Amino acid sequence: MTLLEIHEPGETPLPHAGEGTLAVGIDLGTTNSVVAIAREGKPAALHDETGKALVPSVVAYPSAGGVIVGDEARVLMANEPKNVVASVKRLMGRGAADVHAVAGVLPYEIEPGTGETDMVKLRIAGKARSPVEISAEILKALKARAEAALEKQVERAVITVPAYFDDAARTATRDAARVAGLEVLRLVNEPTAAALAYGLDKGKEGLYAVYDLGGGTFDFSLLRLEKGVFQVLATGGDTALGGDDFDRAIAERMFEERQKDGLGDKVDEGAVKNALALARHMKEQLSDRDQTSGRLELAGVPSFHALTRPEFDAMVASYAKRTIDIARRVLDDADMKVDEVHGVVLVGGSTRVPLVRSAVADMIGTAPLTDIDPDEVVALGAALQAEALTGGSDTLLLDVTPLSLGLETMGGIVEKIVPRNTPIPVQLAQDFTTYQDGQSAMAIHVVQGEREMVDDCRSLARFELLGIPPMTAGAARIRVTFAVDADGLLTVSAEEKTTGVAQRVEVKPSYGLSHEDMADMLYDSLDHAEEDMTRRLLTEARVEARRNLLALDSALAKDAGLLSPEERAELDAARARIEKAVAGEDRDEINAAAEALETLSKPFAERRMDRGIREALSGMAVTDLEGRVGEG
């Protein structure tokens, strides 16, 4: 440790150095976590006594009591599987429906009674625990490691999250830090942190891509690096795609092989955890070998499994292709061509898989950069940012929001307010109006995702703007404002502008409402764009037709007396035709029915207007006016 720090004149020394607390950078990963510190622009990962920087993101609650995090927890996995949990990051901000199974069995035991809209809870060592408190244990262990290495108190941190994490998962991460006694200076997106490490430490400039494939998440970001500015142009990803999927594919194959050999396994949580551990080991072996084998023993019955590189490549090819498709889409979003990219940075342990590496090299056309250890690069970038935020710096980090944010409008259509890849912080507003005469409340449903229909997006929050004074349909002006802060967290507020009725909500995500996960959503969005458009047009036609019906009903309620019985019968028939059409799927028929009604109701509308004029002029002799009205 430096006892005496010398600063250039005019350069600010760390203002908090004297207070005895330091700010660290933390990469809270699916499989492994790392804590790092930067001093004077030099970042370093903090190691344990044996020189290891990686802390396995595994938490054990041993039967003997206490909590163990890291390598020792992983060791316990085989003996006390029910007391150990791994890959908890996959569950941050997720509902029960988002949890994926291996061989039909989850490597987690879900606490029964977890509500459909709650974040999932796990049953570990006989107790229900949330992903937030389990993640907090990992953060506590990292904090302790940092304090031991630095011999100072550590209370503040920059924590990284996948760029593609949604609002629920970001909030859950912040909450976990709070539980661990850490103040979050900033949530920084993982690929952005990696770019920061390369840009600041290796002095890279130009257009760079970051390909980040971790244990459970995939991110791809495109950044412009120049003169201390890190500008994210576009980002995309999948929060349910990573090395865990490779392990799962291998594990499933092992179960199939055992079944073929007639080993009647009871596939339970423990069996799955054991198989996954062996699968992970075999996967790692194949990073620098052409074949490997392993021995799996379940309930005392052993089996032997061989796996060659080509077999493994075939198993993971579809995952690799998904990442490349996402990468292309991000390039497309940024209006950039592949040959404009100066280089691609590899991040995450899963980029050690040779097939992944070659897929990336093939797409970008240059050898990927790996000068900085892909397991540590994110934490190093986070440490640099922590130093910049506390010590002052000239670096400017401009990030974007990864997913579009919008509102549900009539008929379940999504009106996007903040499109994806909008620079943050941002505040954007849009005006909406009422749909019915005298409508006194408006339901606001906030969603995140790229699809046109609400049901295909992730629901973030619902609230109601109450107390709208009675007005005719379309007269109220309700301004809904979306504000996304520098951490990527959303606040929504609504206000009726003519009277100033205001309401503001911090978005409290309604976890797990969506059965599809967010990743599939973006992935699907382009494939479904045309279908969405058709559905949107159909919905719009329906909404319009219903609006006409409401107008007709309101007119009939007031002025039915202006119609002859025949006219009334005709209008009722036209009304019935619309109702039938709206119930169907034929947009042309809906429009035709609406048009027929409009033609038919024209004389009625004219008569109502005449009566309005007459009433307005009621002081005058009706006979004086009749001639003129008749001409009109």
d(CA 571, CA 44): 78
For residue 606, the Cα-to-chain-centroid distance in whole angstroms is: 52
- The residue from 147, 212, 376, 517 that is catalytic is 212
Closer residue to another protein in complex, CB, 89/186: 186
- Distances in Å between the Cα of 230 and the Cα atoms of 197, 198, 278, 400, 446 are 11, 11, 40, 11, 30
Closer residue to another protein in complex, CB, 185/356: 185
Is residue 615 close enough to count as binding another protein by CB under 8 A? no
Minimum distance from residue 544 beta carbon to another protein (Å): 10
Closer residue to another protein in complex, CB, 58/400: 400
Is residue 598 close enough to count as binding another protein by CB under 8 A? no
d(CA 530, CA 168): 29
Residue labelled with tokens 């002025």: 559
Is residue 631 close enough to count as binding another protein by CB under 8 A? no
Binding-site string for another protein from residue 311 to residue 350, where x marks contact by CB under 8 A and - marks none: --------------x--x---x----xxx-----------
Among 44, 97, 428, 613, which residue interacts with another protein (rule: CB under 8 A)?
428
Residue list 182-211, contact with another protein (CB under 8 A): 185-186
Instruction: Count CA atoms within 13 Å of residue 327 on its CB side.
Output: 28
- The residue from 27, 98, 252, 450 that is catalytic is 27
Angle between helices 587-616 and 565-583 (to 10 degrees): 140
What ranges make up the beta strands (E) of 361-499?
A: 396-398, 405-409, 413-418, 426-432, 442-448, 458-465, 478-484, 490-496
121 is an active site residue: no
553 is an active site residue: no
- Distances in Å between the Cα of 20 and the Cα atoms of 103, 151, 346 are 51, 9, 35
Binding-site string for another protein from residue 384 to residue 423, where x marks contact by CB under 8 A and - marks none: -x--xxx---x-xxx-----------------------xx
Is residue 567 close enough to count as binding another protein by CB under 8 A? no
Pairing assessment for the beta strands 32-39 and 42-45 based on DSSP bridges: antiparallel
89 is an active site residue: yes
Closer residue to another protein in complex, CB, 533/569: 533
Binding-site string for another protein from residue 517 to residue 556, where x marks contact by CB under 8 A and - marks none: ---------xx-xx--x-----------------------
Minimum distance from residue 452 beta carbon to another protein (Å): 11
d(CA 291, CA 630): 94
- The residue from 175, 190, 201, 244 that is catalytic is 190
DSSP 346-371: EESGGGGSHHHHHHHHHHHSSPPB-S
Residue labelled with tokens 């209008």: 571
48 is an active site residue: no
Residue labelled with tokens 């069996």: 271
Minimum distance from residue 481 beta carbon to another protein (Å): 10
Is residue 424 close enough to count as binding another protein by CB under 8 A? yes
Task: Please check whether residue 30 is in contact with residue 42, taking contact to mean a CB–CB distance below 8 angstroms.
Answer: no
d(CA 172, CA 91): 10
Binding-site string for another protein from residue 221 to residue 240, where x marks contact by CB under 8 A and - marks none: --------x-x---------
Catalytic residue ranges: 27, 89, 190, 212
Summarize as ranges the residues that interact with another protein (CB under 8 A): 185-186, 229, 231, 325, 328, 332, 337-339, 363, 385, 388-390, 394, 396-398, 422-428, 483, 485-486, 526-527, 529-530, 533
